Amino acid sequence: LSIYLCPLYFAGSNESFVALNNQFSNTDCRGSVDATVSPPLLRFSFSINDNDATSCGSHLQVCIFKDFSNIESVNISGIINSYDPTASTITYNQELVYQYSCNYPLEYFVNNTRLEVAGVSIAIKDNNGTFRSTLNLRLYSDTNYTNALIIPDNGLALKTKIYVEVKATNLTDRFNVLLDHCFASTSYFPLNSSSSYDLFIGCTKDQQTNIISNGENQFARFYFEAFRFTEHRNLPTSTYYLHCITRLCEKSACSTFSKCKRRKRQARDLYTTPGPSEASDPVTITSPLISTMTDNGEYFSIGFKGMCK
């Protein structure tokens, strides 16, 4: 955060008497002169992680967002003001006050000291706080979400329960994980898919999909039953990918948007698809390839032969 240095001198002050939010005794809240630019600047620095954003008296606010999560950015605001050393009743010094307001993408508030992610998501070991790098999408075969789903070479049997977990790592306690929309497509890249199918959008879900936890923790869980795309009717297996559009939401906001035990009409009113002007680029995480076998009656015939013996 920078201000011009010359107006300070013109007002009879200097960099030693200016700080963020009256924090004059804290050297970290004072600015440093940058004389390498013209005109010269007084630069202030403050952390934008969850623990230190308010250390210099800045006000932190999660901005209201017209979407499922009610969250999209974090605003840090405050003032840069001058200190008047005059001890008398009156002063002839000019008071300087600069107001600042800075918006940051919510993903910057991950704890990016350790961005090391295994599994499906891509590990980006830099300090840009990329949201995608903090997410894992994993498939399990049990209700406890402990046993990884192993897909046979010939595919899963139809109606096999697939347990899905999207989990954030190195995330501050302020936020939870909320799934806006999960769907399957025949291509890894949804826009290139010939077919797609919605598992759920907000509270509107497929009959074979059950949401276990969404917006309540730093992970979201649901399960669905394996199916086939009809365009694969002549193929031995049907293959597809699962995609989940995922957001972070402040805990208080998450509690509002994770209440799905309502009448269907209310749920549809609550979860609305944002227009282009209402939403930034979504964060989508994709599963490994899922394959489902053709149920041609072979297993049933083997079973009956055994019984006849």
Q: Which residue, 286, 141, 155, 140, is CA-closest to 228?
A: 155
Question: What are 58-70's pLDDT values in tens digits?
Answer: 887 766 544 444 4
Within 177-276, where are the H helices? 251-257, 264-270
Q: CATH number for the domain including 63?
A: 2.60.40
264 pLDDT above the threshold of 70: no
Cα 97 to Cα 114: distance, rounded to the nearest angstrom: 38
Total domains in the fold of the chain: 2
Domain final position from 124, 151, 168: 124
Distance between the two ends of the chain, CA-based, in angstroms? 83
CATH number of the domain that residue 241 is part of: 2.60.40.4100
**Helix (H/G/I), strand (E/B), else coil: 305:** helix
Segment 100-124, tens digit of pLDDT = 998 776 655 654 433 222 223 322 2
pLDDT tens track for 15-36: 999 999 999 999 999 999 999 9
Range of the domain at 118: 2-124
69 touches 249 (CB < 8 A)? yes
- Assess whether 198 and 87 both reside in one domain: no
**Model pTM score:** 0.58
Per-residue model confidence (pLDDT) at position 61: 74
86 and 191 within one domain? no
